[in-house]
Structure 1
């Protein structure tokens, strides 16, 4: 039985709301800015000049922080470092290649594309999405993608590389605008990155820093890995609905009907219906390949002596080789299942064909890799100057000095973290600075350290979807340009603004209600 798929009715002829006109204006202004590479070159110049000026005036701040190596609280002074003095010039010259080589996003992207290229070229990705569309009610697709996107943070940054483009393909498959799918995926992956229904490696680090800070007030007070599990569980379900609702009610209507003529050359925009016999056989082969790969990884992880467990503690979930190298599993899953599908469907049979598919996917990354090269220099230079750290400490010091109650202080803390996240996107680096300041302060006001950590999770996530300093922001722009050649930075910013604003407001409200009701944060 054939499934007839209809595109959503275009709203181009209907009057636009004030919000839609505002977002259209944001997109036009944003797309008027230069190429992202030019933007970051300008930012690099600004950072260099500003660092020299601030250093000349002796800008500095003293603070207490947790040493990531010893986990001891230490007093330190951070001052603005100039990039135009002797040491700064040496750094500019000598760090060019190390900055790029140390930019982990590049390695993750290439590794993921090795497997994803095979899966896409063989037809597995398209077949899986069409299968999902066939078995899922049309109304549920948005919610499914939103939920899976939020859970994708268990695979660290791999969610950016896998889920976001898949969401675009899924939307295209049901006749919806693929940019709405990309926006949905980006909001889910980036905007809720610090919460999950599962314990992930990031939780271990955040909890450890929280305990180090709590011991300043009470040496016997500690929290566990599951200290935020109930709040995280509720946040995942809550944000799933929020992201899906915004997509269906704000983003999709604004975009209207998709015109395939906008797609970049070589981008597939065809929409299929029922799977062919060859495609169904390919999916069965892919399932067999997946089962075989999982069987191998069970042998590598489940026994107590398994090599992918932590060699000292024996743990599997947390700080272990398995979790630290999870991108390898993601790559192999796509590679093995993609090739198995190709054999079953007759689209990708031989090893030379597989290698050709990998080469094709890597070649498509040329522009993105060059952008990452420039972006890595900006991030390294900005970090070297300490300007972001000084700003974070100045804001936290002002908030700490304010004589307000516990809940207003928690809400103010969320706002400060969100502002700083526009400049310092690393969750661990910020928490190393904020934890020894706010955990002891709020504990003295009767606030549990679990609540402070939960507040940090709320403030640290939504802005990830709008800051250009997110290493994957430029990648999302590249994804968008596959479906709309004219898409640019302004396009993504205008798409993500509704998500960022409403996720921040509603999630903060959920946190405030949770705190006022005294609900347990976790186990």
Structure 2
């Protein structure tokens, strides 16, 4: 990703063009987040004075024995003012994606600057039909959810490199990968750590009303597999027929000056082929090392004493470090073979330069971290989630319509509460027992929640990786702003939401199994603890 200037994107028309123009008139994202903090402070003061509150679905006040009250808290209270200034370093350094991004980029910077990324993508797409790039990127992106946060910081920037090497607009590659990783957050061929996380919350929600109930981590297996194959053509169509035509052609300034637009078609030289072989051996070494840690003596990356659904949690959590080591060693091996890396000083220099590229992201992350944290301190997100669930319960809708409403409610709440587990922890104690009393299984309610949770991830700045995606886009097109990103991702969000909602309604209507031993309908429970 060395070329950062491109031909200007042609003026856009229609609704998406209006969204882009209005969004790009907004101030720099750093300043925008600071404005949002100011607005949030005002709203929190009004909410606190007005007594906005909600009853927590599960927590009990130890003094009264009644449900705990969630009250809006003024961000100008003495406690929150002290919290802002005292915890400022921790608020920044504990910002969830920060550590993941910096660790992976330390290794990825070496792989990029040594030339490995460019050569590997060059080799992979040379002679391959360009029309297959989008479905391949979307498929890998959705499967990459098994790697959780690592998928954001690894797959999405790599998609830009792939598209660039194929002579296509790199921002289209970022959009397709972002739609797969984040919009298709739950779509996969295999259950993973997200299933363990969500079904653990589902189990607790059921037990608060109906007593002992064992979660089935594969309870959405068939559903999420079908979701992947339905989302794939949606992402493919939106990318190739809507987004890439809007972006126009991408011609890096350096190549345009030389008239060498067909550079991606040249054959690899001997040094590059040797470098790829050495990099491949380094990759096999890292994979073998992780297999040893997972399957070998002592199994340090497997929690042998933990619950079955959480046995591989250490393995999943180690993947960010694994990608760091893989990129670092593969980049070093390629650089040594091609002569780009002479000694350890070259390696350290490449790692340092990669951190220099992240300087703006660090400033942006500082502002975003404080907005997200202060939103949580105000309790406004929790109150919105609880009242939204209560309102849905009061509608008394037919099962297919109710589940579709749950999808839409979750999609709307996701604009304000980004964490999938945090929203589900608040919604599940109300939604799961409520639908079980209507004869709808806990697995079906969880599946409906998952559809709504992913569809709006890609259009809300509150999603913690949203600023990072903006930085990825700006590396290829410096004029790309918040409005550009929102306009680019909105068609994906609408397409995935409509498709996912139709999937939920159809699944309930046809009464299909959701996974092994998991059905849509259940006998209405008649006993409670």
Structure-1 separation of matches of 2:354 and 2:261:
18
Q: 1:4 is matched with which residue?
A: none
Structure-1 separation of matches of 2:20 and 2:439:
45
Q: Which of 68, 79, 82 lines up with 2:71 in the alignment?
A: 79
Q: Which of 486, 491, 506 lines up with 1:513 in the alignment?
A: 506
Q: 1:3 is matched with which residue?
A: none
| Counterpart check, 1:130 vs 2:130 | no
Structure-2 separation of matches of 1:211 and 1:341:
48
Q: 1:357 is matched with which residue?
A: 350
Q: CA deviation at 1:12?
A: 6.4
| Counterpart check, 1:166 vs 2:158 | yes
* Kept in 2: contact 1:262–1:485 (CA 8 A): no
| Counterpart check, 1:338 vs 2:331 | yes
Q: CA deviation at 1:90?
A: 1.5
| Counterpart check, 1:214 vs 2:184 | no
SS at match of 1:461: helix
Q: Which digits, 9 at most, give the CA deviation of each residue in 1:103-129, with x for residues without a partner? A: 121111100101100110111111121
Q: 1:495 is matched with which residue?
A: 488
Structure-2 separation of matches of 1:271 and 1:374:
40
Structure-1 separation of matches of 2:128 and 2:213:
47
409-418 vs 254-263, which moves further = 254-263
Change beyond 3 A, Cα 1:56–1:500: same
Q: CA deviation at 1:483?
A: 1.8
Change beyond 3 A, Cα 1:423–1:205: same
| Counterpart check, 1:193 vs 2:193 | no
Q: CA deviation at 1:44?
A: 0.6
Q: CA deviation at 1:315?
A: 6.0
Alignment of 1:190-269 (within 5 A): 190-261=182-253
Q: 1:307 is matched with which residue?
A: 300
Change beyond 3 A, Cα 1:218–1:59: closer
Change beyond 3 A, Cα 1:472–1:489: same
* Kept in 2: contact 1:300–1:306 (CA 8 A): yes
Q: Which digits, 9 at most, give the CA deviation of each residue in 1:348-402, with x for residues without a partner? A: 2421111111101001111110110111111111100000111111111111111
* Kept in 2: contact 1:192–1:239 (CA 8 A): yes
Q: Which of 59, 71, 86 lines up with 1:94 in the alignment?
A: 86
475-484 vs 496-505, which moves further = 475-484
* Kept in 2: contact 1:339–1:349 (CA 8 A): no
Q: Which digits, 9 at most, give the CA deviation of each residue in 1:28-61, with x for residues without a partner? A: 1110000001111111111112111111111111
Structure-1 separation of matches of 2:214 and 2:450:
18
Q: Which digits, 9 at most, give the CA deviation of each residue in 1:59-90, with x for residues without a partner? A: 111131379xxxxx993210001111222221
Change beyond 3 A, Cα 1:315–1:96: same
| Counterpart check, 1:143 vs 2:135 | yes
Q: Which of 367, 372, 393 lines up with 2:365 in the alignment?
A: 372
SS at match of 2:58: strand
* Kept in 2: contact 1:65–1:432 (CA 8 A): no
Q: CA deviation at 1:220?
A: 4.8
Structure-2 separation of matches of 1:262 and 1:465:
32
Q: CA deviation at 1:148?
A: 0.6
SS at match of 2:480: coil
Q: CA deviation at 1:269?
A: 9.0
SS at match of 2:449: helix
Q: Which of 418, 422, 446 lines up with 1:425 in the alignment?
A: 418
* Kept in 2: contact 1:309–1:316 (CA 8 A): no
| Counterpart check, 1:390 vs 2:383 | yes
Q: 1:272 is matched with which residue?
A: 264
SS at match of 1:272: helix
SS at match of 1:522: coil
Unmatched runs of 5 consecutive residues or more in structure 2? 1-7, 517-529
Q: 2:316 is matched with which residue?
A: 323
Structure-2 separation of matches of 1:90 and 1:247:
47
| Counterpart check, 1:288 vs 2:281 | yes
Q: 2:522 is matched with which residue?
A: none
367-376 vs 235-244, which moves further = 235-244
* Kept in 1: contact 2:151–2:181 (CA 8 A): yes
* Kept in 2: contact 1:316–1:323 (CA 8 A): no
Structure-1 separation of matches of 2:240 and 2:325:
34
Q: Which of 397, 403, 410 lines up with 2:396 in the alignment?
A: 403
Q: Which of 150, 174, 178 lines up with 2:170 in the alignment?
A: 178
Q: Which digits, 9 at most, give the CA deviation of each residue in 1:123-156, with x for residues without a partner? A: 1111121122126432211111111111111111
Structure-2 separation of matches of 1:315 and 1:331:
28
Structure-1 separation of matches of 2:254 and 2:452:
36
Q: Which digits, 9 at most, give the CA deviation of each residue in 1:184-234, with x for residues without a partner? A: 111111101123223322221211111122234543543311111111111
After TM superposition, the score normalised by the length of structure 1 is 0.91
SS at match of 1:77: strand
Over the aligned positions, Cα root-mean-square deviation in angstroms equals 2.3
Change beyond 3 A, Cα 1:262–1:42: farther
Structure-1 separation of matches of 2:172 and 2:18:
18
Aligned residues: 500
Change beyond 3 A, Cα 1:251–1:318: farther
